[in-house]
Chains A and B, each alone.
Chain A
């Protein structure tokens, strides 16, 4: 399976999806109005990955901003892993960014897979 790498833009995050290590990273910001176009290939990659996932899957979410359209996609993306992989979501936030920490907790409650919280810098 190919490794997928997308560079960050003003409104989309850097994305690195590596099936060999089982590490899926989202870094930066996700603000696109048209989330479908950006996330479609990512969701497709994840679906193939989940046919034979790594023993351990680590999803790292290091986002400084995301819009509500992205929150919908993130939720459906994380839902795909439920009962399909041994997955942990590593949710990063700036130390003083309580909002981002709270968002993580809300996602955790919504998808019900293990989350670990980390501060940036």
Chain B
């Protein structure tokens, strides 16, 4: 339908404007698997290299990006109805943000929320202890169950509270929006 085409063309401009207004550095929307993750990560690194001096800040930013992306590809509950996730890095002045959005089963919402709240209630020293404890625990369990470790690592690199929101998309699934910020030192 010609009407559709018109809307699509308009969407290009609207998306472009939205991204400019939000100072998006990189955004990827689509299916996440090992191959796409690597491509997005490589592009993210090139962009971060341009925006940040190589050094501690860039390393922290890139570390957050790695964990965030791998959290999406490992932990989202993709299905035919909700195959896609989103990953965004943006900037607002001296503040950078790494965001992700993916669908998870509603049954997982509570435990994920508790995990993030627990992390947000800890200071640096508390996060360090939690990390040591989590990594020891993770060795006892075969495979997976890294989610805690990735989130703790993001919180430690970020130095800020983690932002999140769960939006129910149907009776079994929720969209998990997540954002970690970090401040570029003056």
Q: Is B66 touching A31 in the complex (CB atoms < 8 A)?
A: yes
With A31-B41, A33-B70, A96-B56 as known contacts, state yes or no: A75 contacts B139, CB within 8 Å.
Answer: yes
Stretch at the interface among B11-19, B80-88, B107-115, B130-138: B130-138
A103 to chain B, nearest CB (A): 10
Q: What residue in chain B is nearest A106 (Cβ atoms)?
A: B132
Cα A36 to Cα B142 in complex, Å, equals 11
- List B30-46 residues whose CB lies under 8 Å from chain A: 34, 37-38, 41-42
CA distance A68 to B134 in the complex (A): 11
C-alpha gap A36/B143 in the complex (Å): 9
Label chain A's interface by main secondary structure: helix
- Contacts A96-B56, A97-B56 hold; do A67 and B128 have CB atoms under 8 A apart? no
CB neighbours of B41 from chain A (8 A): 10-11, 31
Residues of A within 8 A of B67 (CB): 67-68
Which residues does chain A contribute within 8 Å of B139, judged by CB atoms?
A: 72, 75-76, 79
Contact B135 A110 (CB under 8 A): yes
Interface string of A47-77 (1 = CB under 8 A from B): 0000000000000000011011101100110
Chain A residues lying within 8 Å of B143, measured Cβ to Cβ, are 36
The answer to whether A33 touches B74, judged by C-beta atoms less than 8 angstroms apart, is yes
Q: Are A99 and B60 in contact (CB under 8 A)?
A: yes
**What total of A-B pairs shows CB separation below 8 Å?**
62
The distance from the CB of B136 to the nearest CB of chain A, in whole angstroms, is 7
Q: State in angstroms the CA–CA spacing of A69 and B149 once bound together.
A: 8
27 A–B pairs (Cβ distance < 8 Å), ordered by A = A10-B41, A10-B42, A11-B38, A31-B41, A33-B34, A33-B70, A33-B74, A36-B143, A65-B59, A65-B63, A65-B66, A67-B63, A67-B150, A68-B153, A71-B135, A72-B135, A72-B146, A72-B149, A76-B139, A79-B139, A96-B56, A97-B56, A97-B59, A99-B63, A102-B128, A106-B131, A110-B136
Chain A residues in the interface with B (C-beta under 8 A): 10-11, 31, 33-34, 36, 64-65, 67-69, 71-72, 75-76, 79, 94, 96-99, 102, 106, 109-110
Closest 3 CB pairs of A and B: A68-B149, A68-B150, A68-B153
